[in-house]
Amino acid sequence: MRLGFGLLLGIILFNSCVELIELDTEAQGDQIVIFGGINTVGIGEQLEIYQTSTIQNRTFPIVGATVTVRDNFGSQTRMFGDAFGVYKFGNSRVTLIPGREYFIDIVLLNGKSYRECE
């Protein structure tokens, strides 16, 4: 069965960076899927990080990743994850400034790293 996973990683600013992929999870287990985004209006800012499995087309949350959001001026802030693989900015209000470029760096517990496309 082919599953369409929305966007690998979308940064919703005034310009979007989106990569739409399809994974055949019966043949391609152990794939990392990153879904979500950040924006300048402060609504719905979260990332969900999962690992696919060939068993019953299930996904498993990735916990303990280090997720850092940085901009082209050198500012950076962390997103914190829960037991369901959902990463958010935490209790503090983070204001993203329109016109700046934002990048997301993700480092998993096994040391593998992923960087949002520029």
Which residue in 100, 98, 93, 99 sits closest to 75, CA to CA? 100
The 10 Å Cβ neighbour count of residue 11 is 22
Q: Which of 32-41, 48-57, 106-115 has the highest mean pLDDT?
A: 106-115
How much is the pTM? Answer: 0.75
Instruction: Tell whether the model's pLDDT for residue 44 goes beyond 90.
Output: no
Q: Is 90's pLDDT higher than 90?
A: no
Interatomic CA distance for residues 65 and 9, integer angstroms: 15
Q: Is 79 helix (H, G, I), strand (E, B) or coil?
A: strand
Tally Cβ neighbours within 10 Å of residue 90.
11
**Which range of residues forms the domain containing residue 33?**
2-115
- Total domains in the chain come to 1
Winning range, highest mean pLDDT, from 1-5, 40-44, 82-86? 82-86
